[in-house]
Structure 1
């Protein structure tokens, strides 16, 4: 059963997801199925998504949900840990890393407030596994004023991503933009409707080849 089919047949706690996210989930998360995994979901909703991820990733997955609402502690069960705290609080996030270690996947489905999303990314991205995935969803809020958003408004996560595209390609800017740790540790950025996925990893020396026999 794939993730979409599992979602449609859910009879556990409520899951609230946009259907067009599911192909992106499968594309970026499939390699972790039935393997040891530390998965951090920011925002617990009504508890159903953590149960869905538990079914999807299998018996070796350790799932951590964080939320500011104390009642979310009731969502704990085998393989699922809940911690109560603010996603934008670096002290809280540092305590999570100290307790659970480096996450392989971070999925930000939290407040969707731009200031929070940017702060969380700034702290957690470089603390995600060197070959891990960092995904931010519900980024339609980057265009909504009540979440600190707006079209081309400075400070939104979408605007940050636009600068990160240049930063990822800094090696080719001929000195106009110095390479950074993001440049060196990011393999790819994938943009979807309302969702961005970052795949971490380091390349070997960037070398172009021209191979073959001239005719």
Structure 2
């Protein structure tokens, strides 16, 4: 059964094919981009794309976002200044260079959306997100595409320092807004409200207004004082793992961890029983 077509996806595909110059995208990206960027269409926004030399994507975004959008390109290759003749603002510099980003944002000001389609190395992706985050407006986005390079040997995989591993650090950091979680003291969680993961794309959703400390509250109503059943599965070893997960290293480690936890809990129960 075919799902109904999304008009925004259709429009984005059309803009992609209408672009007068080369643009390369993955087939799966259109659905993801349409979902992320449809709310910005027809709006007076500032949109920045990192990595624009072939030019086609600039024309695609201008058509898709509409005439009110200010579309800016960032490129390391100085020949990309040619796209200024087509009405685009083009800035030449390295996305790994903090001084470039400082100068860029001092000139451009705050932005609504920044899309990283640059060099795709871990360092470049992390540098771009780190330096751009303070300059993204509330309800804005940073989108990093081609994050599959975190799994490419040519880009250094396996490594503990890939872009995806860094994203996992930010997930810990976001969860550290909870008063009971202290695994990360980084300051990103004061800017990034949430992270959305797609195949080969990561989107950072910025809204400082709602990046609040999370504290437990109660409605102070009467309680029926139910028995706590949270750990009953461990006491009786009733826990289940999908067959496919059990065959992975993670699944085997998880099963082993669950067994050890159940054993420790049963030992504590026995000690309590025998005084």
TM-score of the two chains, using structure 1 as the length reference: 0.88
Aligned to 1:70: 78
Q: CA deviation at 1:6?
A: 1.4
Whether the 8 Å CA contact 2:113–2:142 is kept in 1: the answer is yes
Aligned to 1:117: 125
Q: CA deviation at 1:96?
A: 1.1
Query: In 1, Cα distance between the equivalents of 2:66 and 2:187?
Result: 33
Whether the 8 Å CA contact 1:66–1:84 is kept in 2: the answer is yes
Select the residue among 15, 18, 41 that pairs with 2:26: 18
Aligned to 1:165: 171
SS of 1:131 mapped into structure 2: strand
C-alpha distance 11-200 of structure 1, shift in aligned 2 (>3 A):
closer
Tell me the alpha carbon deviations over residues 160-203 of structure 1, each in whole angstroms, 9 at most, x when there is no partner: 00111111110236252355432232222111111101111132
RMSD: 2.4
Whether the 8 Å CA contact 1:50–1:65 is kept in 2: the answer is yes
Q: CA deviation at 1:49?
A: 0.3
Q: Select between 17-26 and 165-174 the one with higher mean Cα deviation.
A: 165-174
C-alpha distance 146-9 of structure 1, shift in aligned 2 (>3 A):
closer
Q: Which structure shows the higher helix fraction?
A: 2
Select the residue among 28, 43, 49 that pairs with 1:41: 49
Q: CA deviation at 1:159?
A: 0.4
Aligned to 1:105: 113
1:150 aligns with 2:167: no
Number of residue equivalences:
212
Unaligned runs of 5+ in 1: none
C-alpha distance 8-185 of structure 1, shift in aligned 2 (>3 A):
closer
Query: In 2, Cα distance between the equivalents of 1:25 and 1:120?
Result: 19
Query: In 2, Cα distance between the equivalents of 1:98 and 1:18?
Result: 33
Q: CA deviation at 1:135?
A: 0.6
SS of 1:187 mapped into structure 2: strand
Alignment of 1:194-213 (within 5 A): 194-201=200-207, 202-203=209-210, 206=214
SS of 2:177 mapped into structure 1: helix
C-alpha distance 12-167 of structure 1, shift in aligned 2 (>3 A):
same
SS of 2:74 mapped into structure 1: strand
Q: Quick one: higher RCO (CA 8 Å, sep 6+), 1 or 2?
A: 1
Q: Select between 116-125 and 203-212 the one with higher mean Cα deviation.
A: 203-212
1:60 aligns with 2:68: yes
Query: In 1, Cα distance between the equivalents of 2:14 and 2:113?
Result: 20
Query: In 2, Cα distance between the equivalents of 1:127 and 1:5?
Result: 29
Aligned to 2:3: none
